[in-house]
Chains A and B, each alone.
Chain A
Amino acid sequence: MANQLYLSSSPHFSSGESTDRLMRQVIYALLPAAAVSVYMFGLPALVTLLICTLASIGFEAVCQKLMGRPRTLGDGSAALTGILLALNLPASSPWWMSLIGAFVAIVIAKQIYGGLGCNPFNPALVARVVLLISFPVQMTRWTAPAPLSLSFDSVTSATPLGQAKEAVMLHGALPADLAAGFGDFFLGRMGGSLGEVSALALLLGGLYLIWKKVITWHTPVSYLATVVVFSGIFWLVDGTRYPDPLFHLLTGGLLLGAFFMATDMVTTPVTPRGMLVFGVGCGLLTVLIRLFGGYPEGVSFAILLMNAATPLIDRYTQPKKFGFVLEKA
């Protein structure tokens, strides 16, 4: 007889799925977008990615040490937050800004709430918004793509969304050549933060996550569909003032947000119906902010606002339990 027999309550079988594996898969899915950003923006992009990732891991380790929590760097969640943060920053971000971002994301937005699983807001997005409000100049100094550049003195360029918003504000109409850039948007030849430049790379990563069953289709599909429909309505009403849905889809952080941030498990609803509500809410807010808000881009704010609504959504989208019957009056 064995010296050691395990006794446990059933089940005695497990899917083998683990938090570590889920986080790793998301990191893999982000690699194409990260690679494109390094190609398009060169060395500065690589440096930003490295600082954000390493600093996030470092802050997580320090926090866990100081707070006497178990060390869980192996779960990959800190590294993932770091990568997501970097992808939300301009390539020209100064090193200290990346550091502050990582500090805000890991220490303030995650560990203070209790660590993995306890944070109500997406840590990378909290950091992005804090940086955007604190350092508006650095955070909106977008680098023009300069493939494989080794230089840190970059040419700045407005984002397509920024150009559109400015033109509408100044001239009351969209720039004439707006639609000309779709091929560039798709491949990533436009100004913007690291991770929003290539729609193709983001789409690949997103589809990989759905294929690997890391995320479900609910949030991305409802988010993107809402943006298309809602922005489409405005476009149909006045196509000279409001950009067409494809422009909305391909520019800004929409794809990054829809596939990688609005699907962050911790800060979004757990039920499929809740995910649909979450996606629709994100879509509406994103379009509203883009068209009528003070900022040209609304993805970060939209997702954070919906994060705040997550407990409410969870409460009202509970599945109907098996055998549910209305109480007879």
Chain B
Amino acid sequence: MQLKTFPGGLHPPDNKQWSAHKPIEDCPLPEELVVPLGQHIGAPAVPCVAVGDLVKRGQVIGEAKGFVSVPVHAPTSGEVIAVEDRPHPMGRDLPAVVIRADGEDAWGDLLAPLDIAIAGIDELRQRILSCGIVGMGGATFPAHVKLSPPDEKPIDTLILNGVECEPFLTADHRLMLEESDRILSGIAVLQKILGVRQTFIGIEANKPDAIERLSRACADLPVEVIPLEVKYPQGAEKQLILACVGREVPSGGLPMDVGVVVQNVGTCAAIADAVLRGIPLIERIATISGPALVEAKNLRVRIGTPLRKLVEVCGGTRVEPAKIIMGGPMMGMTQLSLEVPAIRGTSGLLLFTADQVSTRPEGPCIRCGRCVRACPAHILPTTIAAYARLDLFEEAEAYNALDCIECGCCTYSCPAALPLVQSIRYAKNAILAKRRKV
């Protein structure tokens, strides 16, 4: 059978064999947790605890500020020992609440479980907000915002993103295999909120066990599992929608413009916990992998756990890591140190050795067209990048720089080792900054 997919993209070696068969393990609690108040797209939370306060697991420690914002909760019980700027995975020092764990790990008062048959839609949305649920595929966009489409944008389709197209990462894969009931409960909540006509779960064909497992679980439900061609970036939202339902999100538009809402399977499981058990988002599954590590693992990690702890749990390093990546190798962010905490968007932690770090000098563009063929946005990366490097941002914009989804396919495929997506990002920032000023 021809598997569904999108035009463009490429096939990086998936490197999932290191961790795909490893069951999810609970990462032990660290002594000290650093919980950043900004772990999502939008306004950071405002701290509502002070140094010396005793907090319980699940207690709100930062309150949402504005519509596009979510609260932050204590991942375990203990004492607040600092509310100050701390190194953040984004590369800067940002406000965080530091908690010294008391080892009790005692729950605070949780919100009451909701019965979705009875609960109103606004109540469900409010619960998702109160529990701090954000997109856990890595983008960390507040989930309640996505679930509140304006009336003029009717939604008829829900797509669950179980693609996990980033090499190395297997966290969603393990979640689908081991905790599919959480996902299914979450789907029921989402279906109720959105009132959709159809629901799909998109999974890349390199996870046949997860496809089988979920297909069986969904046999009697109004949910269809769609196996997708293994191709990067199959999990990019717009590419996933095109593959699953054949709808193309208009340039500059959002999935809701074509009647679709996409949620990552991890987000969906977290929504189930929030609604059915009142549990806020204080932990997530992350894949710890990479050639510098002794052993790759899938860990259930409390938010705020320093990366160093995750590495220790995996047996430490085999060799000195030359690059620390939070997320996947295609879109993840490099880290300055292992002292930064795992946050809600931490889908993985990869330690690369010097062998994996390309330091090849860039050469001239030979116009081979590889970036053009690989680009899933169907733009001309090399042309835009060339303009960007000359600070010709109007030209870059005319060549559709803003349609770039920053998947990195162009840079990956470039034989001249040119930093194409990096240059396009630079142009996008400049174009958007100028727009804000006008």
- Contact check, A5 vs B323: say whether CB atoms are below 8 A apart: yes
Q: Is A232 an interface residue (CB 8 A)?
A: no
Interface string of A1-39 (1 = CB under 8 A from B): 111111111111111011101100000000000000000
Residue on A nearest B8 in the bound complex, by CB: A322
Among B93-101, B188-196, B412-420, the stretch that binds chain A is B412-420
- Contact check, B416 vs A322: say whether CB atoms are below 8 A apart: no
Residue on A nearest B325 in the bound complex, by CB: A12
**Complex formed: what's the CA distance from A9 to B364 in Å?**
20
Q: Is B2 an interface residue (CB 8 A)?
A: no
Among B53-61, B121-129, B378-386, the stretch that binds chain A is B378-386
Residues on the B chain within 8 Å of A269, using CB: 369
Q: Is A246 an interface residue (CB 8 A)?
A: no
**Complex formed: what's the CA distance from A6 to B337 in Å?**
11
Residues on the A chain within 8 Å of B425, using CB: 9
- Contact check, B372 vs A10: say whether CB atoms are below 8 A apart: no
Residue pairs across A and B with Cβ atoms less than 8 A apart, 29 shown, are A1-B320, A1-B337, A2-B322, A4-B322, A6-B334, A6-B359, A7-B334, A8-B334, A9-B334, A9-B425, A10-B329, A10-B333, A11-B329, A11-B408, A11-B411, A12-B329, A12-B332, A14-B358, A14-B414, A19-B363, A117-B365, A216-B369, A216-B373, A265-B369, A270-B368, A270-B383, A319-B372, A322-B249, A322-B379
Report B354 CB to chain A, min CB distance, Å: 8
In the complex, the 8 A-B pairs of residues with the closest C-beta atoms, listed nearest first: A11-B408, A117-B364, A323-B251, A270-B369, A13-B329, A2-B320, A319-B378, A265-B368
- Contact check, B251 vs A118: say whether CB atoms are below 8 A apart: no
- Contact check, A10 vs B331: say whether CB atoms are below 8 A apart: yes
Q: Is B360 an interface residue (CB 8 A)?
A: yes
Q: Is A154 an interface residue (CB 8 A)?
A: no
Q: Is A325 an interface residue (CB 8 A)?
A: yes
**Complex formed: what's the CA distance from A14 to B120 in Å?**
49
For window 254-304 of A, CB contacts with B under 8 Å fall at 265-266, 268-272, 275
Q: Is A116 an interface residue (CB 8 A)?
A: yes
Report A110 CB to chain B, min CB distance, Å: 11
Q: Is A96 an interface residue (CB 8 A)?
A: no
16 extra A-B contacts, CB within 8 A, seeds A11-B329, A116-B366, A319-B375: A1-B338, A6-B323, A9-B421, A10-B332, A12-B323, A13-B167, A13-B408, A14-B411, A14-B412, A15-B412, A18-B416, A117-B364, A270-B369, A272-B373, A318-B380, A318-B399
Which of A7, A75, A115, A321 touches B251 (beta carbons < 8 Å)? A321
Q: Is A324 an interface residue (CB 8 A)?
A: yes
Residues on the B chain within 8 Å of A272, using CB: 369, 372-373
Residues on the A chain within 8 Å of B421, using CB: 9-11
- Contact check, B378 vs A325: say whether CB atoms are below 8 A apart: no
For window 397-426 of B, CB contacts with A under 8 Å fall at 399-400, 403, 406, 408, 411-417, 419, 421-422, 425
- Contact check, B363 vs A116: say whether CB atoms are below 8 A apart: yes
Q: Is B36 an interface residue (CB 8 A)?
A: no
Q: Is B86 an interface residue (CB 8 A)?
A: no
Residues on the B chain within 8 Å of A2, using CB: 320-322
- Contact check, B367 vs A321: say whether CB atoms are below 8 A apart: no
Quick one: which of B253, B327, B369 has the most chain A CB within 10 A?
A: B369
**Complex formed: what's the CA distance from A100 to B249 in Å?**
56
**Complex formed: what's the CA distance from A115 to B322 in Å?**
34
Residue on A nearest B375 in the bound complex, by CB: A319
- Interface of A (DSSP majority class): loop
Q: Is B16 an interface residue (CB 8 A)?
A: no
Given contacts A9-B422, A15-B12, A324-B251, contact A265 B413 (CB under 8 A): no
For window 322-375 of B, CB contacts with A under 8 Å fall at 322-325, 327, 329-334, 336-338, 350, 352, 356-360, 363-370, 372-373, 375
How many chain A residues sit at the interface, stated as a range, is 35 or more
Q: Is B428 an interface residue (CB 8 A)?
A: no
Which of A10, A115, A325 touches B408 (beta carbons < 8 Å)? A10
Report B379 CB to chain A, min CB distance, Å: 5
Given contacts A22-B366, A323-B249, contact A11 B338 (CB under 8 A): no
Report A112 CB to chain B, min CB distance, Å: 15
- Contact check, A322 vs B364: say whether CB atoms are below 8 A apart: no
How many chain B residues sit at the interface, stated as a range, is 35 or more
Residues on the B chain within 8 Å of A14, using CB: 358, 411-412, 414, 417
Given contacts A1-B338, A325-B250, contact A11 B367 (CB under 8 A): no
Interface string of B29-40 (1 = CB under 8 A from A): 000000000000
Q: Hey, which bits of chain A sit against chain B, CB under 8 A?
A: 1-15, 17-19, 21-22, 72, 75, 115-118, 216, 265-266, 268-272, 275, 318-325
- Contact check, A18 vs B415: say whether CB atoms are below 8 A apart: yes
Residues on the A chain within 8 Å of B379, using CB: 319, 321-322
Q: Is B297 an interface residue (CB 8 A)?
A: no
Report A24 CB to chain B, min CB distance, Å: 11
- Contact check, A270 vs B324: say whether CB atoms are below 8 A apart: no
- Contact check, A11 vs B372: say whether CB atoms are below 8 A apart: no
Report B230 CB to chain A, min CB distance, Å: 15
**Complex formed: what's the CA distance from A21 to B416 in Å?**
10
- Contact check, A323 vs B248: say whether CB atoms are below 8 A apart: yes
Quick one: which of B320, B364, B379, B383 has the most chain A CB within 10 A?
A: B364
Report A323 CB to chain B, min CB distance, Å: 4
**Complex formed: what's the CA distance from A94 to B10 in Å?**
48
Interface string of B105-119 (1 = CB under 8 A from A): 000000000000000
**Complex formed: what's the CA distance from A115 to B363 in Å?**
11
Q: Is B238 an interface residue (CB 8 A)?
A: yes
Which of B373, B378, B412, B417 touches A322 (beta carbons < 8 Å)? B378
Quick one: which of B327, B358, B367, B400 has the most chain A CB within 10 A?
A: B367
- Contact check, A270 vs B382: say whether CB atoms are below 8 A apart: yes
**Complex formed: what's the CA distance from A265 to B370 in Å?**
10
Report B108 CB to chain A, min CB distance, Å: 36
Q: Is B75 an interface residue (CB 8 A)?
A: no
Report A288 CB to chain B, min CB distance, Å: 27
Residues on the B chain within 8 Å of A117, using CB: 363-367, 416
Residue on A nearest B351 in the bound complex, by CB: A2
Residue on A nearest B167 in the bound complex, by CB: A13
- Contact check, B366 vs A265: say whether CB atoms are below 8 A apart: yes
Report B284 CB to chain A, min CB distance, Å: 20
Report A185 CB to chain B, min CB distance, Å: 32
Report B434 CB to chain A, min CB distance, Å: 21
